[in-house]
Structure 1
Amino acid sequence: MGISSGRQRIGPQFAVATPIRKISLPYTAILLNYGHPPPCRPMHNARQLDIPRLIAFIAVCEEGSISAASRRLHIAQPALTVTMAKLEAALDAQLLERDIRGVAPTPAGVELLARAYDIVGRTQAAFEDIRGSAQEPQGEVSIGLPASAAAVLALPLIARLSQDYPRIRLRVVDGFSGYLWSWLLAGELDLALVFDRPSTSGVHSEPIAHEDMHLVGVPQRLKAGKTVSVAALADYPLAISSRRHGIRAALDDYALRHGTALNVGIEIDAGAYLIQLLRTGAWFSLLAPCAVAREVREGALATRRLSPTFTRSICLAQRRSVLGDAAARSVAGTLRQVVRGLIDDRTWDARPA
């Protein structure tokens, strides 16, 4: 999924519940008021690049077709074809692979696309900040939260956004980090909290916090003490996520590095059922404390920090195509503030990045 080199298409091939928000900057009014669609304007300098041409390139990559992009941009297909050829000439690089099915970015095209999203997004943000400084952000924003983080974050985040930005229509989805990342790449989410994910050509990801993983189980079956050694994990039958999720692979590697292996009895990719399994006393798991904060307060479950410590990064990941959207930026900014507040008041056992 997402943006990659080769024959893979970007964006429209995915059937999603919410339409993908594409770059919406009014390209006919960017920087200069061109008398005709700017992507067709002759390139006087062979090395000249401008924002309208970048917008045209983004449209071609997202649509996977010159003809579809020309309809989206309301310009003639031959003119857009010439514009793409001149863009390649200006950069002295092949940016698009072409065949009877359409077009897809080459590795050089993928690199340009990531930079184009950033440049156009920043320009869009500047326009919206200046033009809409007296207006409230509005529109739909879809956000994904890992089930563990949602347990402490979802309610205060929704309350804060409802109070500060009543014209933003928020769509909140929770799930395992691996699923959220896939949905983000598919364009089904605008932003999400994910674990240990680097930026890609289509997604900007930055760590905002770090948290340590714990062994979790019923209190009477956990050994005494505040920590449990990695070697002792072999004594605990684990119910844990499958290897399709990055955190599972990282935990397996962690155990192997310390000369042992996890005692995995069942793989489960459903957070609510996992907690129910743990409460039976027959199973244990490796989780962040926030995932079981309520159960620990109630005395139903307890945690032991791993030794050596296993730390994961909590990353705020946003599709590059929404970085300039005022509503998405407002949600992202509020998310950062709420996370920091929960950490500061110790509701969330984590550390700021």
Structure 2
Amino acid sequence: MSGRPAHRKLFSEALGGVRHMDFRSLRYFLAVADVLSFSKASGILHVAQPALSRQVRKLEDELRVELFVRTGTGVELTQSGELLRARARTLMQQIANMAEEVRAESEVVRGKVTVGVTPATGELLVPLLAKRCREDFPQIELRIVEAYAGLIYGGLVKDEIQLGLIHSPAAHRSIRIEPVLVEPMYLIGPPQQSTGCPPASPEIAIDSVPLIMPRRGHSLRELLEAAMDQEGRELDIAFEVDGLVSTRALVASGLGYTVLAYGAVHDQLMSGKLTAVPLSDPEILWRLCLVSTNEIQHSRTVTVVRNIIRSEIHKLVDAGMWQGSVNYADEEIQLPADLSDSR
């Protein structure tokens, strides 16, 4: 015969028949067991004593054991009550730990995010974005797609890209557009020691020099030509080049000039490979925006990456590596510029 005490055997058999034990009853039982008084426990729980007594009686009926015996000064735990107190306290602690773990798990930002960037924005931003994600949110699986704006827009619509950073996007009913930065454009010229065209200077009129620009349809070229048309002026396009690296190389070799945002040539300016002056005649402002689909904009992971992008751009502006006016608003905007390409 087993040496297990009779009250433990009875209690275990009773537990085997329990199907719907009420955690509130357990909590009330523990409160009474701690102070050995229904009246004191009633005050601690802010529950009427009759209701407290009913809950404990319900628990005793369900377990088919007595948990308390009344004394002249209060109550005492029976052997079954002592056993239940130990088990219930462990159980309630496990439940509390489980709840804490679930809450903590929900706070871990995880998931895949594909970010589309144009060459003009990716060179400075992508290393900073990747570093922040790895250090602060290691559970985020970040994928970078470098492409022109038209392809990024298409990727958003097809749900292949969750977040994009492009210039002057066209309004679209399913795309959310968030302005991030308004960038002044710069005339980019060869280095000081160039044997071809002279370096960029404020005296150079943009319609008097050979330009290296992307083909028509690119948002920057559209903006520039529209501004020139208003003044009855024409651009001298020496080469049409749809590529940032090749454009910079042609300018550095002295074959012409181009128009770009400061951030697209920061490293080359610092190393003396290119020169730049703000474009003032005409003045061109290029709006940099975050774009995402309306369906995915509330994703927590996408929101985290979006905020990192904004934060890192602000830091670049503060450090003078990216020129422009930071837009802190988080609003949808309508932009008239045609979207077919963007560096």
Pair in the same fold by TM > 0.5: yes
Gaps of 5+ in 1: 1-129
- The equivalent position to 1:351 in structure 2, one of 306, 325, 330, is 325
Residue number in structure 2 paired with 1:280: 253
Q: Highest CA radius of gyration, 1 or 2?
A: 2
Residue number in structure 2 paired with 1:289: 262
Quote how far apart the aligned CAs of 1:155 are: 0.9
Paired positions, count: 221
> Structure 2 CA distance, aligned partners of 1:131 and 1:160?
24
> Structure 1 CA distance, aligned partners of 2:272 and 2:115?
31
Quote how far apart the aligned CAs of 1:219 are: 3.3
- Give the root-mean-square deviation of aligned CA atoms: 2.1
Contact 1:228 1:305 in 2 (8 A): no
What's the CA shift string for 1:145-166, capped at 9, x where partnerless?
A: 1211112111111111111110
Gaps of 5+ in 2: 1-101, 328-343
1:150 counterpart = 2:118: no
Amino-acid identity (%): 25
> Structure 1 CA distance, aligned partners of 2:227 and 2:152?
23
1:340 counterpart = 2:314: yes
Which one-letter code corresponds to 1:148 in the other structure?
Answer: A
- The equivalent position to 1:179 in structure 2, one of 151, 169, 174, is 151
> Structure 2 CA distance, aligned partners of 1:154 and 1:334?
11
1:238 counterpart = 2:242: no
Q: Secondary structure at the match of 1:219?
A: coil
Q: Return the TM-score normalized by structure 1.
A: 0.59
Instruction: Tell me which stretches of 4 or more aligned residues in structure 1 moved more than 4 Å.
Output: 130-134
Going from structure 1 to structure 2, the CA distance change for 1:228 and 1:149 (only over 3 Å counts) comes to farther
Q: Secondary structure at the match of 2:270?
A: helix
Residue number in structure 2 paired with 1:318: 292
> Structure 2 CA distance, aligned partners of 1:283 and 1:224?
10
1:190 counterpart = 2:162: yes
Residue number in structure 2 paired with 1:35: none
> Structure 2 CA distance, aligned partners of 1:286 and 1:209?
17
Quote how far apart the aligned CAs of 1:143 are: 0.4
- The equivalent position to 2:274 in structure 1, one of 301, 304, 315, is 301
Q: Return the TM-score normalized by structure 2.
A: 0.60
Residue number in structure 2 paired with 1:271: 244
Which one-letter code corresponds to 2:187 in the other structure?
Answer: L
Residue number in structure 2 paired with 1:168: 140
Going from structure 1 to structure 2, the CA distance change for 1:245 and 1:188 (only over 3 Å counts) comes to farther
Which one-letter code corresponds to 1:318 in the other structure?
Answer: S
Quote how far apart the aligned CAs of 1:216 are: 0.8
What's the CA shift string for 1:240-276, capped at 9, x where partnerless?
A: 1122322221111011112211111222112222221
Q: Secondary structure at the match of 1:166?
A: coil
> Structure 1 CA distance, aligned partners of 2:157 and 2:280?
34
Contact 2:212 2:257 in 1 (8 A): yes
Q: Secondary structure at the match of 2:130?
A: helix
Residue number in structure 1 paired with 2:39: none
Residue number in structure 2 paired with 1:26: none
Residue number in structure 1 paired with 2:57: none
